[in-house]
Amino acid sequence: MAKRSFNSNGNLKQEPEKAKITKESLREALSLFAYIKPFKGKFILSLIFIALSAFSTMIFPFLLGKMIDAAAPGANVQMPQAGMNTDALGFNLKTVQWSLNTILLLLFLQLSVQTIFSFMRIYLLTEVGEKSLANMRTDLYGKLLSQPMSFYSDQRVGDLSNRISSDLSQIQDAISFTLAEFLRGIFTLVIGLSFIFWISTELALVMLAVVPLIAVVAVVFGVRIRKMARKAQDQLAESGTIVQETFQGISIVKAFTSEAYEMARYRKSIFGVVETAISNARYRGAFVSFMIFSVFGSIAFVMWYGAGMIKSGNLSAGDLTMFVIFSAFVGGTFAGFADMFSQLQKTLGATQRVRELLRQKGEEVDLEKTSSNFKNPIRGNVSFQNIAFSYPSRPDVQVLHDINIEVEFGQQVALVGPSGAGKSTIASLLLKFFEPSSGKIFFDTICSQDFGLTDLRRQIAFVPQDVILFGGSIKENIAYGKPDATLEEIMAAATKANAHEFINRFPEGYDTIVGERGIKLSGGQRQRIAIARAILKDPAILILDEATSSLDSESEQLVQEALDYLMKGRTSFVIAHRLSTVRNADKIIVIDKGTVQEIGTHEVLMSKSDGIYRKLVDLQLEWSSLEK
């Protein structure tokens, strides 16, 4: 899991977890290059431009050195003569001299060419990265959508969302930026070292004798500083957690007069951050001081040695200038590799988490728009035959035992019983959120296993007690039951759900934004929107989780009228908590401890003086009288 920390604004953020660089992790990362294959032409072209950009950049120090040589006292422009050693260009680059004007012209030509190369490498890699990551995001989102309910019971939504956002963004950065910088660094390193040895092998060996020592010390210091920084970040995250917990439970804090305790806890956490930060500052101060002394000392030593070579006539001032600038390029590239290595570890970690999800086996649902026709249309007869069930996360606990239920088309069936009896589990099995451990469910005469998931679920509507609306408009939420519905169809469904009147009272009408989870609407309004959504879907089978239990009397009456209309002419399963709402059900099924205990109408079950249903009704009547 990614590390939790807080940013400068105090908001929770996720730090990408690093992975060790192994053959397996690299193989995982390379597998994602399959998403680049459709754009391999532009990708290869971008790599060519990276190489050209690095090479053109390294020409700049060479031309600066030649400019200094051209400006030196007594310098003459020399043209190659017959018999002189020449290279592939037809002249000797080491001894050639140009006029100042020629070099200035060459410098601007080099900068112009480098500008084009740099633009093309950035543009092409960004295009490849964005398009390939868009395909990857789509595949990952589709894979998550197709996961069964058992998958979501074991996952945190925040972690899954983080994989789509942070993990894929990390991979995108690796393709669009880190990869380019790494390859450019390799080219710069090779070209830079080649130029350094070409200018003076003796001076290059002097410089390389000093650099490794500085690099080793820098790595040791860098590892220690990063560890201290992570420790400080974790401690700051802990203090942020204390603040979050305290304010979330502020009523308990005040009720138990724990203000002093919370202050002490927060103070201890904050001063722990201070101590770690001060300790880290000592290391950073020592590191910066060492680097300043070492780097500038090395430059001074190389310059001193090079000045001696100039004095002896073995090196020109321009060559020394070239050498120092090339050395700076090489040193900067070495320093950048440390950060690139860290980014590579983060990318490998993100890749492993994304690949883990992409390898998950999902349900066979249709992720593209399907035909409005059903492959196996359902009339509404339902049969449970010897159904037993255990949740995948708790296989040792059997929730349902030998369930046998027969429901005919158009019947209203109420599922009642104590909490935890298995009522909601039966609804989940109807929707094929889970498969029975044993036994079969038939819709009409077709086994549920012979249905496509999308084909089956499109013919079933579910209205939960805790209605979930999406953050769009009222129109969009109702049309969720039939995405291609016209406004007239949406308004007709809202009218049947007793929702049209209150919708028209909003200034924006059906375009009113409901807010996250429908927060701008009352409980009764949300329920009627959900009912309108189900009416528009026109399902063969309806599943209702008690929709009126937490509403006031006026809202309850309006919602109940809408539900009565919705249940007409279709098979309905009502999970009942308030038994007064199911008196008119065609069949009441009493479930207790995962088994069917009683089946009958309200009158039949009430006639059983020692029956479970009668005891539940009497208990609710007793509670109602006490509340009054």
- Helix, coil or strand: residue 148: coil
* 346: its two tokens: 């983060």
Contacts of range 396-403, beta carbons closer than 8 Å, 24 or more positions apart: 398/437, 398/594, 399/425, 399/594, 400/425, 400/426, 400/436, 400/594, 400/595, 401/593, 401/594, 401/595, 402/439, 402/595, 403/439, 403/594, 403/595, 403/596
**At what angle are helices 317-358 and 259-311 packed, to 10 degrees?**
140
Q: pLDDT by residue (tens digit) across 498-552?
A: 888 888 988 888 888 887 767 778 877 888 888 888 888 888 898 887 766 555 5
Q: Are 194 and 363 in contact (CB under 8 A)?
A: no
What tens digit of pLDDT does each residue of 275-310 get?
888 887 887 788 778 777 877 787 788 888 888 888
Region 415-439: mean pLDDT is: 87
Burial label for 525, CB within 10 Å (0-12, 13-18, 19+), is: buried
How far, in Å, CA of 119 to CA of 50, rounded? Answer: 10
Q: Tokens for 581? A: 């709402």
Going across the sheet that includes 446-447, the strands are 398-407, 382-390, 438-443, 446-447
Domain 21-199+343-361 has CATH 1.10.132.10: no
Residues 560 and 577 sit within 8 Å (Cβ to Cβ): no
Neighbours of 240 (CB within 10 A): 18
Is pTM beyond 0.85? Reply is: no
**CA 509 to CA 527: how far, in whole Å?**
17
State the pLDDT confidence band at 4, using cuts at 50, 70 and 90. very low
Instruction: Give me the pLDDT at residue 388, please.
Output: 92
Give which of 590, 531, 538, 573 is closest to 556, Cα–Cα. Answer: 531
Strand order through the sheet with 541-545? 460-463, 541-545, 571-575, 412-416, 587-592, 595-600
Residue positions counted in the chain: 628
How deeply is 97 buried, as exposed, middle or buried, from its count of CB atoms within 10 A (0-12, 13-18, 19+)? middle
pLDDT-derived band at 2, boundaries 50, 70, 90: very low
Q: What is the pLDDT of residues 153-191, one digit of tens each?
A: 776 766 777 677 777 777 777 777 777 788 888 888 888
- In this prediction, residue 109 carries a pLDDT of 92
Measure the CA–CA gap between 24 and 474, rounded to whole angstroms. 49
Report the C-alpha dihedral over residues 135, 141, 145, 146, rounded to 10 degrees: 50
Domain map (residue ranges) of the chain:
21-199+343-361
**Residue type at 308 in one-letter notation:** G
In tens, the pLDDT along 120-147 reads: 988 888 888 888 888 888 888 888 888 8
Cα 476 from Cα 543, distance rounded (Å): 22
Please report where in the chains the tokens 């606990």 appear, as a residue: 397
* Helix, strand, or coil (residue 386): strand
Measure the CA dihedral 453/459/465/470, to 10°: 80
* Helix/strand/coil (H/E/C) assignment for every residue in 151-166: HHHCCCHHHHHHHHHH
* Residue 114, token pair as written in the block: 């480098």
Which of 41, 180, 190, 191 is closest to 118 using CA atoms? Answer: 180
For residue 190, count CB atoms less than 10 angstroms from its CB and return exposed for 0-12, middle for 13-18, buried for 19 or more. middle
The pLDDT confidence band at residue 74, using thresholds 50, 70 and 90, is low
Rounded Cα gap, residues 332 and 395, in angstroms: 58
Maximum CA pair distance of the chain?
123
With contact defined as beta carbons under 8 Å apart, do 467 and 534 qualify? no
